[in-house]
Structure 1
């Protein structure tokens, strides 16, 4: 008879290895995310008090242009490097020089396009900002493969340190410029200082240097993967930036300033929770796609953990936007509270669909990702145009309704194939679908009870505790939620043991 022991041992060893990597990656990535979130909030709070909505609107006109150029600075090649099974040093060098050539070209194009961008908006201040922003694209291209190599090797500690130090440099530079000069250039310097530091630190910590190049034929699969994701990202760009272009063009800098700041605030959960978790989970998913059970467990845990960390907070912003905006940005921004609230509702849908990118990338489904991005972009663009006559608030409201309709369709499309099924995603989000109205009712009831008597700080703290205390028990509603709680408790114990051992 077959001895089952070796099979169990062979299965448990990789499982233990991945759990150890997950725990270590979660610890360092979590610490890094918290530090970056603190710096980001600090920048939002101080810059909002030192600058005006008009200042943010001027820079907000440039951001879509830079974001479009930024799509091509990496051309999807960084994701291709992370998910590829094996890659040689010569192939990496070829990809690096392709990225560099793209970065130089895009930098020059932004300089040439600067006067035309200013003419489009009818805002002369935009010209110099657009030209200067070419450096951001070039710096991003130079750092792309070095950061991809660190991610591929699961050097999460180094990546967290790079992220934290670079954002610290950019934040310090921006706050100093805003304090002494009260200029919209401070917002540019936040991005410039961060990009310079990120590029230098990525080169330093990765230790890799480009060398002899391989032929383009040897990297044709990488270029093909990158091309599909680039096309998809181009489509996503229009779905995420056309709203800002339209508001800036037809409603001016002040309206765009409110919208742009609201967008940045509601984007924080994606930047500081989803993206770090994806950084930890994506290499593991790519390496375990041949083991459906383990693949499913890794995805479900990262998916539900991201929802648990983000959904209650976004519901709080949607239901008490005025109090949160007053606390974070100051009373002069309260007039934009409806924009914050509706964009928070839109973000609820994105919190459910954002992690699905891991399925497309890890399963090498670049073409399907491109199709979903194109369809989503067209769909969102129609919503923006419908809401535009009612200003920034109308655009945000139309966007919110469109995202809530899109979410279940996207969940179905992403899970049509692979180890994670549509039923799996449904079971994962069910506890949060139940928690959302409970959290909304709790916050609105607290607002009614206090009737404006509580300070924004006290109200926000009490509401934050309430929404998370309501959300966590909702995980007990089904088996997927209970498994998630069990995994989180297990990881928490591992973190405690590691901390105790280190002490």
Structure 2
């Protein structure tokens, strides 16, 4: 049997390659649809996303994460969780459909009467496929996960582009949402060859449901804090402003949602296998934080420094107001990589209650900052969102040490170093681009990549802790991490 380190490396590479394909498909879709549709079309769907984002949590409520982190998962336990997911997904879909009149009142958009119920169906489809995703992850069948994911995106994009060309307007975005969910459900059941049993009491399922409730509650608080910006901007500044903000946010969040979330399906099973083999996982997680954090920091330093060019290439003319929003959000998004590592530690150590408590302490404050900023400007909302991310990461890192007994000071120190390196690389890249002067979009992006890469590499070399962690990646693969 391959070692946990080898399995993690191979699984991580499969997920990385596949997610690059998925992100490429999503980016191509955004580029094409942004030229076929208007900011108002995207803004209408973003208004529905306010309730979809919350309902999307309740259709699973942490059950898949609880099943993923469990040391053992029997057929009956997996089946019981499948039926729990089915009930939650159906309830979430019905709740979203019923919220249409409320959304019409809040946003003053009668078109939401029909858009909202149509967007509710994917909640049920996604809730049914999640237990299958867990089965594939626990069996280390990452290639199957990637192929089904990319296939769903390609099918959905083709149907959405066809609908947009046919003149369906915002309905093209609804078609994309529904097609992706249905295709993912069908293909994953086909490749998994897994059929759930009928539900039965017992089988120690209550502990999994309890852990899932903790994770789901924490995720719900996080989603509310994350999506209150759409609610406030849409109700105060209108569909056009929300369309600019939501597409800037969508473009920024693609790497996080497309890479970090799927990596959870690799990291948690691999860490559990290493722990079951009696290996230390503390140092592995610390190295993972540095490597993941630096990759995310590089990406967003480049994005922030070339915001106008990225928006122009991705969205085209007419989306210029999205550029400053994109730059601001990118500056705070380096924190996402660090926060995901904290999330993995919570799952790996089984401290799901601690995850819930941490979000209870931080997310309401983050949401309050966004609400207050919305009365100032859309850009102020983006800055408030960044402050919320920083506050949440600092508190969660401290609280994680209290709940797990891990010494989190090294995580905090290396995390701060990663953030400083990322922001310094942004400053250097912005200064160099301004010094050189006006260039073509392609030349600006090319120089931006080169300067960001060079400056970040130099900063890592002069910081011994970061340099050592990056150089130890080979040791992670062979399991020879120095204590």
Change (3 A) 1:111 1:433: closer
Match of 2:240 in 1: 254
In 2, the alpha carbon distance for the partners of 1:216 and 1:67 equals 32
Q: How does 1:35-434 map to 2 (within 5 A)?
A: 35-181=21-167, 183-216=169-202, 218-289=204-275, 294-418=280-404, 420-434=406-420
Among 442, 448, 452, which residue is 2:428 paired with? 442
Q: Deviation digits for residues 149-179 of structure 1, max 9, x if unmatched?
A: 1112221111111111111111111122122
Among 438, 441, 456, which residue is 1:456 paired with? 441
Change (3 A) 1:312 1:342: same
Q: Deviation digits for residues 29-49 of structure 1, max 9, x if unmatched?
A: 111011011111101111111
Whether the 8 Å contact between 1:274 and 1:355 is mirrored in structure 2 is: no
In 1, the alpha carbon distance for the partners of 2:470 and 2:229 equals 38
Runs of at least 5 residues in structure 1 that lack an aligned partner in the other structure = 1-13, 495-503
Change (3 A) 1:336 1:215: same
In 2, the alpha carbon distance for the partners of 1:417 and 1:297 equals 18
In 2, the alpha carbon distance for the partners of 1:477 and 1:368 equals 36
Deviation at 1:381, TM superposition (A): 1.2
In 1, the alpha carbon distance for the partners of 2:343 and 2:463 equals 25
SS at the partner of 2:402? coil
Note the aligned Cα RMSD (angstroms). Answer: 2.3
Whether the 8 Å contact between 2:68 and 2:265 is mirrored in structure 1 is: no
Deviation at 1:292, TM superposition (A): 8.0
Higher relative contact order, structure no. (Cα contacts within 8 Å, ≥ 6 residues apart): 2
In 1, the alpha carbon distance for the partners of 2:416 and 2:364 equals 28
In 2, the alpha carbon distance for the partners of 1:306 and 1:191 equals 29
Change (3 A) 1:493 1:298: closer
In 2, the alpha carbon distance for the partners of 1:466 and 1:71 equals 39
Change (3 A) 1:492 1:234: closer
SS at the partner of 2:130? helix
Whether the 8 Å contact between 1:47 and 1:178 is mirrored in structure 2 is: yes
Match of 2:12 in 1: 26
Deviation at 1:77, TM superposition (A): 1.0
Runs of at least 5 residues in structure 2 that lack an aligned partner in the other structure = none
Whether the 8 Å contact between 2:215 and 2:355 is mirrored in structure 1 is: yes
Count of paired positions = 479
Whether the 8 Å contact between 1:289 and 1:362 is mirrored in structure 2 is: no
SS at the partner of 1:47? helix
Whether the 8 Å contact between 1:259 and 1:339 is mirrored in structure 2 is: yes
Whether the 8 Å contact between 2:155 and 2:179 is mirrored in structure 1 is: yes
Whether the 8 Å contact between 2:79 and 2:197 is mirrored in structure 1 is: yes
In 1, the alpha carbon distance for the partners of 2:404 and 2:102 equals 46
Whether the 8 Å contact between 1:69 and 1:137 is mirrored in structure 2 is: yes
The answer on 1:486 being equivalent to 2:448 is no
Whether the 8 Å contact between 1:319 and 1:443 is mirrored in structure 2 is: yes
Change (3 A) 1:441 1:91: closer
Provide TM-score, normalisation by structure 2: 0.93
Q: Deviation digits for residues 432-471 of structure 1, max 9, x if unmatched?
A: 234224312222223212322x112210121012212222
In 2, the alpha carbon distance for the partners of 1:427 and 1:362 equals 21
Whether the 8 Å contact between 2:312 and 2:319 is mirrored in structure 1 is: yes
Deviation at 1:350, TM superposition (A): 2.4
Change (3 A) 1:165 1:361: same
Moved more, 421-430 or 160-169: 421-430
The answer on 1:465 being equivalent to 2:465 is no
